[in-house]
Structure 1
């Protein structure tokens, strides 16, 4: 098990470039299965989850060519459907939650798919009902194989349908959208997720020949087409990494410029950090975070304690709440962090409490943070990363703490952050990988 050893209290300075968006990459890479023609994707992040998905496609006999450090060409003109029946496929796809999104493309193009129970972060129950219900409405049948513990899915020809999703699931919307583009007739998806990831996936599918309207809204209308062609696609900068760098800079008192942020697609992320008292300066497509000796949490207009909560886009992404929570521990003032979507994502706060943070865990979804400013620094500790987002939050805490910290199970961080230790060390951090 790999670990980070972090020397706290180091101020960073300089420029850092965010990686390509992990969540977008997982979607658009699955979409290459929709066409036998070549699809080229640039700004692909070099992280475990994405690399494992690319290897899974290779194992399915998709031709994969790495054109540069971050650019790949895919061609799914000879997909081995028999591989879906192997133990190797079941094992690999079960360990990668993003693999659920190959179901829509496989069904749409080949009429069959297999889905083991997927893995991923241990952040509570993440149901797949939205995926299943939407794809069933398009005419697919699901059969659960108890012995193999997997779903066998078939459809001779998907047919368009109207559906009102029970939740605005990002991966659920992506899966249904990819199935619908080759379905017969018209599909209407209401309460669709409309995150930038979905907008980017839709733009790529349209470039491939799909007929999609309503992109960027929660009402998508898809006219099915007979086939799709190849395309070239550029992945957005990762908004979660941009937000992580903003919080990291403020909490460590660093002067950092985040380059090429895709600022127009960040939504309310910059303004949400400003509510914590952090100076976020837009410079074209870059963000400058000046040195903060302190930062003070805002209150509501009536003086009551600020609440920061996640919500479907254009609300605040749940993937950043762990970062907001840890950054608030060194602010002046109090804030209620309300994690609505996942019931186990706040359980890492016990590690922050061990470091000296003043946090009251109200229930699995809410934590009150009492920021003590610079009066009481966090102290170094030994921790284990439970998931990707808690992992980066613990890394930020360790970088701001007094003394040396150790974080185990950093494979969880590597799943979502590309060479994070090397990139941060290049601007002044002191992180050693063991």
Structure 2
């Protein structure tokens, strides 16, 4: 278990370049299985979860070449599908939730796909029903080995397009079904589809490979199946969650930071939501400039004067991955805010660590927390803590960087799952952080 030691209370200054988007990369990498031609992908982040998936693809038989920093080529012309039922895959796939998205492309192309029950963050229940119900509606047969916790779908006669109304607008579920439907016979309509920018990116990539998809960016996708797909070149967007993390870091540490090349048009409500906490965010071309908040920042209130409420929602609502950041930033705001995490019932359970640091937080229930901001009248105090998941981990790191004294964060492998060389990049803008 690796550890960070952080000397807090340092103002940072400089420019930081966001990495490629983790959530997009996991979808895009699975899509290379749809064709036997070469697929080139740019801006792949060098993080644990993505590297795990690349290893799984390699073990499956995908020919992979690293062409440069963040650029790879993939060719899936000689796959070893027996690997999917091996003990090796059961172990490797179970450690990565994103591995579920290899099932759709394999089912569409080869008529079968298997996956062990995947792992990932310990943030609450994350159902897979949407994925498999979609496959079943396309004509696949589902089986589950309860003892081995192993899922399988098979469609020896191929998939046929149909209409489906998804019970939830699952991003990974929509991605999986779209990839399977791209090679199904006839037209598939997916209503209540997720429409996040990263799902849009996947659809655009598939279109460049020869897929026929209408309604990209909406919650109704129409996919007309084709017999085969070809190669393409694709560039991954910057990671919006990392961008939000840097906004929160700048505010909490009273730092002057420029976040470069953020793809503003794909940020949705992220700038607006941070502005609700009183944070100044300036657009300079395609960069975000955040001045040093030397006088702090004040939470807005609603028109009727009621307490500010910030909650997550499917896109174009505010992403749940940034609510942990919002919560920690609110601890030093002037005013109070209610954080409502609707999607995951365990994601707010890291607040006890912030309370230990001196934050004023009332955990109302597993989904809601009220934060009474300090307005920088008292600093958070350094402590020793353990990172429970990616987003809580980065939130605790931001708290430690703003706190007085030296903090220790254990289990930083969780942070490494989603943030590339985070200590190296933070050091370049003045952070005092050591990896042990």
**TM-score interval for Structure 1 and Structure 2 normalised by the shorter chain:** over 0.9
Cα distance between partner residues in 2 of 1:147 and 1:406: 39
Once residues 374 and 192 of structure 1 are traced to their aligned partners in structure 2, the CA distance between those partners, rounded to angstroms, is 42
Q: TM-score, normalised by structure 1?
A: 0.99
- Counterpart for residue 400 of structure 1: 402
CA RMSD after TM alignment: 0.5
Q: Which residue is 2:206 aligned to?
A: 205
Aligned-pair distance for 1:146?
Answer: 3.1
Report the counterpart of residue 312 of structure 1 in structure 2.
314
Instruction: Give the unaligned 5+ runs of structure 1.
Output: none
Q: Which runs of 4+ in 1 moved over 2 A?
A: 146-149
Partner Cα distance (1:41, 1:69) in 2: 11
Q: What is aligned with 1:389? A: 391
**Partner residue, 2:172:** 171
Shift of 1:149: 2.2
- Structure 2 gap segments, 5+ residues each: none
Check the 8 A contact 2:135/2:153 in 1, yes or no: no
Q: SS state of the match for residue 332, structure 1?
A: coil
CA distance in 2, matches of 1:427, 1:145: 50
Q: Distance in 2 between matches of 1:90 and 1:279?
A: 47
Q: Is the 8 A contact 2:33 2:105 kept in 1?
A: yes
Matched, 1:6 2:6: yes
Task: Describe how 1:14-413 pairs up with structure 2 within 5 A.
Answer: 14-156=14-156, 157-293=158-294, 294-413=296-415
Q: Which secondary structure state, in structure 2, belongs to the residue aligned with residue 278 of structure 1?
A: coil
CA shift digits 1:149-191 (9 cap, x unpaired): 2012100201101000000000000000000000000000000
Deviations 1:359-387 (A, max 9, x none): 00000000000001111110001000000
**How far 1:147 moved relative to its partner?**
3.7
Distance (Å, rounded) in 2 between the aligned partners of 1:376 and 1:173: 45
- Whole-angstrom distance in 1 between the partners of 2:349 and 2:245: 19
Cα-to-partner distance string for 1:9-43 (whole Å, 9 max, x where unaligned): 01110100000000000000000000000000000
Range that drifts further, 264-273 or 144-153: 144-153
- Cα shift readout 1:133-154 (whole Å, capped 9, x = no counterpart): 1111001111112343201210
Within 1, Cα distance between the matches of 2:140 and 2:365?
39
Deviations 1:272-294 (A, max 9, x none): 11110000000010000000020
Give me the TM-score of the superposition, normalised by structure 2. Answer: 0.99
- Once residues 410 and 119 of structure 2 are traced to their aligned partners in structure 1, the CA distance between those partners, rounded to angstroms, is 20
Aligned counterparts of 2:135 and 2:429: Cα–Cα separation in 1: 47
Q: Kindly tell me the number of residue pairs found equivalent between the two proteins.
A: 434
Secondary structure of 2:249's partner?
helix
